Amino acid sequence: MTRRDKPNELQQTFDRESLLHRMTKQIRRSLDLQEILTTTVSEVRLFLSADRVKMYRFDADGSGEVIAESIHEQRLPSLLGQRFPADDIPEAVREMFLLVGQRSIVDVANEKIGLSPLQSKKTGKRLETNIYYRQVDQCHIQYLKAMGVQSSLVVPILDCDPQEQSAKPKLWGLLVAHHSEPQKILKRQLKVLQQVADQVAIAIAQSNLLTEAHAKQKREATINRVTTLLHKLPTIQLQGALEEVITAFSGAGGRLYIVESQELYTWGEQPILSYELDNSIIEQHPIWQNWMAEFQQGNIWATTDLYKEPRLRVLALAFRSTQIRGLMVIPLHYREKFLGVLSIFRSEFETEILWAGRCEQNRRQLLPQLSFEVWREQKKGQAPEWKLEDIFLAQALYDHFSMAIQQQQMYKQVQSLNANLELRVQEQTAELEKSLLFTKVIKQVTEHIRRTLDLQATLQSIVQEVRPLLNSDRVLIFDLKTKSVIVEEINGNWQSVLGVNTPPECFPDEYTRLYSQGRVRAINNLSTASISDCHREFLQSLQVQANLIVPINMGMELWGLLIAHECEAPRNWQDTEIDLLQQLADQAAIAIQQAQLYQQTSEAETEARNQAAQLEQTLHELQETQTRLIQTEKMSGLGQLVAGVAHEINNPVNFIYGNLCHASDYTEQLLEILRLYQLHYPHPHSEIQAAIEAIDFEFLVEDLPKIMTSMQVGTERIRSIVLSLRNFSRLDESENKRVDLHEGIDNTLLILQHRLKGNAEFPRIEIIKDYGNIPRVECYAGQMNQVFMNIFSNAIDALEVSSQGWQDLGEKENHSYFGYAQYKRPIPTIQISTKVSADNSRLLIRITDNGSGMNEDVRKRIFDPFYTTKPVGKGTGLGLAISYQIIVEKHGGIMECISEPGKGTEFWIEIPVKPPAKIVN
């Protein structure tokens, strides 16, 4: 080395020391990693006199992003904020960066790359800093040339966890220097850059520790706030705690559901269950409950896209109307008890990634990237990832929420016990008051027996007085002779058992003997009582959970039973209640004895009235049967007549229709010959000329083809009418078969076509068809046609009556009917709609008219036989009654009428596509 080189060498040494000193000072002074990285690239660019120095950080998927950059006088374009695909740095190169700390120097002009490992790949020992040059891959050379780079230097930056000595380092990123002109990198410069990279690694470790400390501090602050809200007994602040948790997780919404009380706390955006999912609360849905049952205590579940989770495939429908995509579920347990569930939601968002050029994936290994123009990649439906610190926070909150909810439930139990003590004192006071009331009621019943001989009124008075005193749901008297309930008094919406008979096997003779001997039976809990299965099932059918039975004895003979029912829940019957019921049973026995003579005298009259009523009912049933037979015979005869007429008309019509085409051809041929005659003999004989003028030959030639065409249209119309008559003649078919009901509706409308057309007194009725894609239906086709005929005929009658009313109103105001209707009266319309139910098992038919409608009294009676609102001679009142029988009894379907005055009428028909069992004729 010459003397002139010494000052230069000293200056370079000073620059190296100064650079390291500034880097160390910056790391100690600032805790902001981005600021440190920005300072680093600036200092390194000045140190190397480079055109661009950048800090490149790897992501988990292998791609990388330029997060810090320094450029000299814009000699090279900026890459700050741009991403590079993982394939730009092959996996093998990244492994060398990580395993041996390999640095690389690329001389683009000489197409060489210098490699300088820090340690041996085989022994793992640190090596001296040497640079080994070799030829570089042409793809790499072209890649750098496309970036405008003639020389590059890459130094890896590793990240080590200082808290774990045994932890292996990770490849955090790269420190990259670019020159737009050839540049030689010296060993001492490489050594300095390695020391800078080591200082950056220290800064990264410090930043990670600081970030983790801040996260821990924030997590502990959240836990403290939530804990304060959760332990404010007796007013635990679950709603406030939920809001704090959602805010801590940066959630869009959330909910807390408690199983025992079925309480639901919500905040922010919420899912909405559709009617198809049955439940109004998602936590009560069976799919959700089965899912929760699989969770073990302390498990936390989280997903960034709930629509990709197979378990949530059905419940995800509730989130479709929201922006929610991320979901965390925290099942809450106390020991082995499942308390509830805490759910956190995160909204989806759009992301934009700036790529350094767009590169086709399938060409990545074949050609280098030639353009680094910024390409913006947008991704929709993204949700923030649930990080490890989120799981830690959730696990901490799990314990606090579980403990708080358990404490709240225990507090409520203590409050309930205190309330029960007060209730017992009140009950004892009420018992004394009840004894006084019992005495008063017995006195009132005794006085009532003395005042009247009406047995029914006396027994009804007994049950009416007893039920409020016992505070029971039902009190009744059972007559042993008729084996049925004769009087009852009910509190609430419980079903009536009046007239209900006891199955013989549930009341054996042994019971009669025991009750006649004065047996009293109190059942506190039906589910645990020692009674026969038959008896238990019978009482359960009456909604009974506890009952009290005392006998009503006439001397040594058992007359009946006085019974009290508890339907809401089991009940322990008290001795005072049993005594009261027994005394009232004795009073009932006295009343029965006094009323027997009176009943015997009135039995003859009652029996005569019953016989008269029975004869009247029998006569009414005979009339209905006769009417149905007449109507059936009439429709059967009509079907035979229609079929016969259709058959007789069909033959001549087919003959005419088959020859019309030939007649039309012959006519055209004759007219063509006449035209040829006119062409070749333009001056016919005078007699022929006179005949031509007499018959108006030109008009005849023009009109004759039109006549033939109209005759052909007429015959086609007659054929369609005949076909409709033949289809409608299915009325006499007795077997059910699969048919197209659209065809039946259309044929019925065709038969009624003459009534649908307008005339001088009544406008045309418009038919609107909304046919769905329905299958063939197994039914009685002829009877279904009869139903359509009855409904359409009634609709046409209603529209005619409605239009007549508007016409009369128009005449009073000196307007013609059609002129008045043009402005104030809608067009008479019949709408027909068909569709199949959601489960494809039933066919729905709706027939609607816009007539004047009907009031509620008329609507309730339209299916009654012989009921009609039409004038005498216009209707029999049987059409809709028979239609109802055909739909409901014959086909096992539903037929309903919806109507209001002024709003038209709608008939709703619903029949099974295939009957579940054979239709009984």
> 534-588, pLDDT tens digit by residue?
888 888 888 999 999 999 888 778 888 999 999 989 999 888 888 888 888 887 7
Beta strands in 452-570 (DSSP E): 474-479, 484-490, 521-523, 546-554, 557-566
Task: Judge whether residue 808 has pLDDT over 60.
Answer: no
Residue 753 three-state SS? helix
Contact 602, 460 (CB under 8 A): no
CA distance 647 to 640: 10
What stretch of H or E contains 467? helix 455-470
Token readout for 40 is: 């680093």
Dihedral angle of Cα 496, 500, 505, 509, to the nearest 10 degrees: 110
- Could you say which DSSP state residue 270 is in? -
Q: Angle, nearest 10°, between helix axes 5-29 and 33-48?
A: 170
| Amino acid symbol at 352 | E
Q: In what order do the strands lie in the sheet with 474-479?
A: 484-490, 474-479, 557-566, 546-554, 521-523
CA distance 297 to 335: 8
Token readout for 56 is: 């490149």
pLDDT digits (tens, 9 = 90+) for 82-94: 888 887 888 888 8
Q: What are phi and psi of 360, to 5 degrees?
A: -70, 130
Contacts of 910 (CB under 8 A, 6+ apart): 837, 842, 843, 844, 845, 893, 894, 895
For the ranges 451-460, 488-497, 882-891, the lowest mean pLDDT is seen at 451-460
Q: How many CB atoms neighbour CB 344 within 10 A?
A: 26
Length of the chain: 921
Higher-pLDDT residue of 653, 533: 533
pLDDT digits (tens, 9 = 90+) for 318-363: 888 888 888 999 999 888 889 999 999 998 877 677 677 665 554 4
Contact 747, 727 (CB under 8 A): yes
User: What pLDDT, on a 0 to 100 scale, did the predictor assign at position 647?
Assistant: 62
Token readout for 5 is: 């080189």
Question: Could you tell me which of 176, 201, 154 has the C-alpha nearest to residue 54?
Answer: 176
State the SS3 of 706-739.
HHHHHHHHHHHHHHHHHHHHHHHHHHHCCCCEEE
CA distance 105 to 183: 10
CA distance 779 to 915: 8
CA distance 301 to 49: 53
The HSE-up count of residue 369 (CA atoms within 13 Å, CB side) is 22
Question: Could you tell me which of 386, 381, 321, 378 has the C-alpha nearest to residue 354?
Answer: 378
CA distance 79 to 51: 13
- Could you say which DSSP state residue 752 is in? T
Q: Report strand pairing: 324-334 vs 301-303.
A: antiparallel
How would residue 807 be classed by pLDDT, with cut points 50, 70 and 90? low
pLDDT digits (tens, 9 = 90+) for 195-211: 888 888 888 888 888 88
pLDDT digits (tens, 9 = 90+) for 115-145: 888 776 666 676 666 788 888 888 888 888 8
Calculate Rg over the CA atoms of the chain.
49
Contact 834, 771 (CB under 8 A): yes
Q: What are phi and psi of 308, to 5 degrees?
A: -100, 5
Dihedral angle of Cα 444, 447, 448, 454, to the nearest 10 degrees: 150
pTM above 0.75, yes or no: no
CA distance 790 to 866: 14
User: What pLDDT, on a 0 to 100 scale, did the predictor assign at position 628?
Assistant: 60
User: What pLDDT, on a 0 to 100 scale, did the predictor assign at position 475?
Assistant: 92
Rounded to 5°, the CA angle 763-766-772 comes to: 170
User: What pLDDT, on a 0 to 100 scale, did the predictor assign at position 481?
Assistant: 84
Peptide bond into 234 cis (omega under 30): yes
Contact 501, 483 (CB under 8 A): yes
| Amino acid symbol at 48 | L
Angstrom CA distances, 9 to 50, 188, 461, stand at 19, 11, 123
- Could you say which DSSP state residue 827 is in? P
Task: Judge whether residue 614 has pLDDT over 70.
Answer: yes
| Amino acid symbol at 69 | E
User: What pLDDT, on a 0 to 100 scale, did the predictor assign at position 822?
Assistant: 44
How would residue 517 be classed by pLDDT, with cut points 50, 70 and 90? confident
Question: Could you tell me which of 599, 588, 503 has the C-alpha nearest to residue 542?
Answer: 503
Q: What are phi and psi of 115, to 5 degrees?
A: -110, 135
Task: Judge whether residue 376 has pLDDT over 60.
Answer: yes
First to last CA, the chain: 123
pLDDT digits (tens, 9 = 90+) for 898-914: 999 988 999 999 999 88
How would residue 254 be classed by pLDDT, with cut points 50, 70 and 90? very high
Q: Which ranges of 294-374 would DSSP assign to H, the alpha helix?
A: none
What stretch of H or E contains 899? strand 894-899
Contacts of 852 (CB under 8 A, 6+ apart): 798, 801, 802, 805, 901, 902, 904
Task: Judge whether residue 3 has pLDDT over 60.
Answer: no
Dihedral angle of Cα 582, 587, 588, 591, to the nearest 10 degrees: 170
Token readout for 26 is: 């910056």
pLDDT digits (tens, 9 = 90+) for 101-114: 788 888 888 888 88
How would residue 8 be classed by pLDDT, with cut points 50, 70 and 90? low
Angstrom CA distances, 574 to 56, 489, 577, 587, 687, stand at 86, 20, 5, 20, 127
Task: Judge whether residue 32 has pLDDT over 50.
Answer: yes
As a whole number, mean pLDDT of residues 652-679 equals 78
Higher-pLDDT residue of 375, 281: 281
Residue 499 three-state SS? coil
